[in-house]
Amino acid sequence: MIYIDPPMWPAHNTLFSHLVSDTGLDELHAFTAAAGISSRAFDGDHYDVPRERYDALVSRGAVPVSGGDLVRILIACGLRIPARERPSALAGPLRHRWNRLLPGTPDLGGRLLEHWNEPHRRYHDRRHLLQVLEALDLLTGSDVPLPVALAAWFHDAVYTGRPGADEEASARLAEQLLPVAGVPAAVTAECARLVRLTATHDPAAADIHGALLTDADLAVLAREPARYAAYLQGVRAEYAHLSAEDFAAGRRRVVRQLAAADPLFRTPAGRRLWEEQARRNLAEELDGVPGVVVPSRTAAADRQ
């Protein structure tokens, strides 16, 4: 069933309601598509809809409930997403991090946050940015070298689903914007080099900065199984334009390459924190665990 709370949340010079389902996101997406609501209004577990649509949505079958009841419905059916897993809720914490990293450059931080919040992103969004920054904190004890921290902010700033081209465009964006913000040339150059390195995740043995950034970027591979499945679903959503067969083939190539890396994580802390679980996840994905995006078991023969 579809539920809607009163229009009481201010934004963009109007008030918004939240639209949810207690059955599943498929039902919610189908309802909103039929009502002509843009997919850009989706925020993880609900749609934000302006108050002028409220009566029409109720007429279509949305059940009016209070704001508190709507939250309880989401929690009871298991669809509620915590705030830190919702990109729209991360602007404040990320802006605070940026202001500590590069004081006096709020406009640049805001521009990057807009890049990370583009509507086509389903995995490479503000959640991923925060996860990479937090992974760097774990690897360094919160003493992250400036070029590495900047590279984390820029490494997927341009994301169109074109491997290699996106990393190059992101590096060029750093080369364009950082000097204007007063960042020294050497720091800018190192940041751009590190961003380009994320196309391969293959730093040289002595590349300490590269090892930090690539380990933090790959830390997602060590999620516990349910969250790993959610990561896979996000990646699949970003490639919705591909057929299931083409996506599975491409994903298998990526996973085989990652699984063949020895070691997968290049820092001692990364190996200690993430190597075992990440290898387990990659192996299970290739073996086609139910619910995982890549279902084919033919990959076993290809690995011989």
Band of the pLDDT at 139, cuts 50, 70, 90? Answer: very high
Predicted model pTM: 0.73
Percent of residues, the chain, with pLDDT higher than 90: 74
pLDDT (tens digit, 9 = 90+) per residue, 206-237?
999 999 999 999 999 999 998 898 899 889 98
Neighbouring CB atoms inside 10 A of 19's CB total 25
- Per the listing, tokens 């997406």 go with 29
Percent of residues, the chain, with pLDDT higher than 70: 93
pLDDT (tens digit, 9 = 90+) per residue, 231-250?
998 899 898 888 989 999 99
The domain defined by 102-217 carries CATH number 2.60.40.290: no
Tell me the C-alpha distance between 159 and 173, whole Å. 12
User: Encoding tokens for residue 89?
Assistant: 């809720």
Write phi, then psi, for 209 (nearest 5 degrees): -60, -45
pLDDT (tens digit, 9 = 90+) per residue, 148-168?
999 999 999 999 989 999 999
Residue-range domain boundaries for the chain: 2-81, 102-217, 221-302
pLDDT of residue 291: 39
Q: Which amino acid is at 6?
A: P
Tell me the C-alpha distance between 31 and 46, whole Å. 12
In 7-134, which ranges are E strands? 9-11, 14-21, 47-50, 63-64
Calculate the CA 177 to chain-centre distance: 23
Q: Which residues fall within 8 angstroms of residue 123, CB to CB, at 6 or more apart?
A: 231, 234, 235, 237, 238
Band of the pLDDT at 41, cuts 50, 70, 90? Answer: confident
Helix orientation angle between 146-154 and 165-177, rounded to the nearest 10 degrees:
120
Tell me the C-alpha distance between 15 and 226, whole Å. 35
Residue 86 pLDDT greater than 60, yes or no: yes
Q: Which residues fall within 8 angstroms of residue 127, CB to CB, at 6 or more apart?
A: 84, 85, 86, 87, 90
pLDDT (tens digit, 9 = 90+) per residue, 48-74?
999 999 999 999 999 999 999 999 999
Tell me the C-alpha distance between 248 and 133, whole Å. 29
Tell me the C-alpha distance between 282 and 272, whole Å. 17
